[in-house]
Structure 1
Amino acid sequence: MPNIRIWTLESDIDAKAVECLANKLVRHLELENLSIQTVGPQAVPKRNQRGASPSDILGMAVQNYLKQDDCVIFVIDSDGPMSAHQRRQESNSLINQITRVVENSRFNGKVFLVQAVQELEAWLLIDCLGIFCYFASKVAQYRENCRDRVSANQSFRRLVGSYQKGNTEKIVEAVTGGRGAKEYLIEFSKKILPALNPNKTLRNITREQYRENMSPEIAEYVLIDQQTLKCNNSLRKLGTVLAKFQ
């Protein structure tokens, strides 16, 4: 059974969400006998060798993983074009460290980079109905058959449709720190909550709106099929890399 190691170097929370989505990709693509394991930034070893660069240390960690795993896939956010350009200008930025490891001939065909364009939230946003059901499932009447019940409600269906993008990679921040997929998902959640309960106060909406630590649970509600996968090329790329080890 091929062992796939997915390494999310920016967030341990992302690791949990990506593991869920990767396993859904495996099932959708009918990739049999693939074992998915994820790790987050805590797995990066501390610098303990004199003169070793950050990319050298990362490369040594990858080499250790490949003693037991068939491949290592790095997953990081791409963010907007301005942020990406700035990252590339910094010699020891995370993207440059990873690129050096991926391009190292020792790891040819075994180490890959998949950038979540624009952010991990863009992967979740391929299925706005699933996101709606995450919040709706906290209301007793929607805990079962949520997708059918929400779809049967015209106002809910209209709200979901208004936020569902054909390509979630185009939810782009115009400037560094601008409005991206994360902010878009926060905005969507702030519309969902009062739709489910018109009596909900602004204070409660603010408290219950989307936060990054919700992403692993939301991923459980996201449907991955032929239609939703069309909404994000970078998520499809992850599926393509996984399929190499079938």
Structure 2
Amino acid sequence: MLAAHRRDLLLGRLRTDGRLVAKDLAAELGVSEDSVRRDLRELAAAGLCQRVYGGALPASPAVADSAARRSVAVESKERVAARAAGLVRPGSTVLLDGGTTALAVTRALPRELTATVVTHSPAVAVALVEHPGVEVQLIGGRLFKHSVVACGAAAVEAAQLVTADVFLLGVTGVHAEAGLTTGDADEAAMKRALARRAADTYVLASVEKIGAASPFAVLPLSAVTGVVTDAPDDDPAVRDLRAAGVDVLRA
């Protein structure tokens, strides 16, 4: 089998099975594990998969910059945002992550809501100006321009002063094996810092993030209260999440 044909087969298998195991594929195709690993390196370099120990997982399309993500899975994000907005109780303190789904949450919040929202996203903070009963506290630090959020040591230190009822967490990948992942190490560290300051953490997971993975781990699935998604119940990745004990909240 030509290398190009083999890589096409790997991509098809990745779409079907949701993961690739290099050892098993090498035995099935009658090639060396080194050949399969080389194929996976090339696919990963092209952004077509996310390499993990022993194989590969689907790469998340949500690692594009903020401007590009605005046109990805728009309706899915709105459904997830509407469900997540229902988790914000009157009088509560909410940590709201950055990203396009978090922005959709601001639009889904009731106009009459009274609450305190703490965020490290300038865009989220500005959007909440339209909610007269919402007090907004903005965490500052180094601006990570890719996602338009504050990160770095100053932001993590400021997060330690916050105590919240709930954190609405944005990630780029939600996978039963890889857990919660994102595309930048500093951003992942900031998300962990925020999660430590909330009683409950819910993941905002539009359909393109379910079953996908990115390079940097944020949290294990066991560290969050639930995952809010509109991915169908018969999606194999959703079934895997439920089998792993994750509370999946349907949007």
TM norm structure 1: 0.30
Structure number with greater CO (CA < 8 Å, separation at least 6) is 1
Higher strand share goes to which structure? Answer: 2
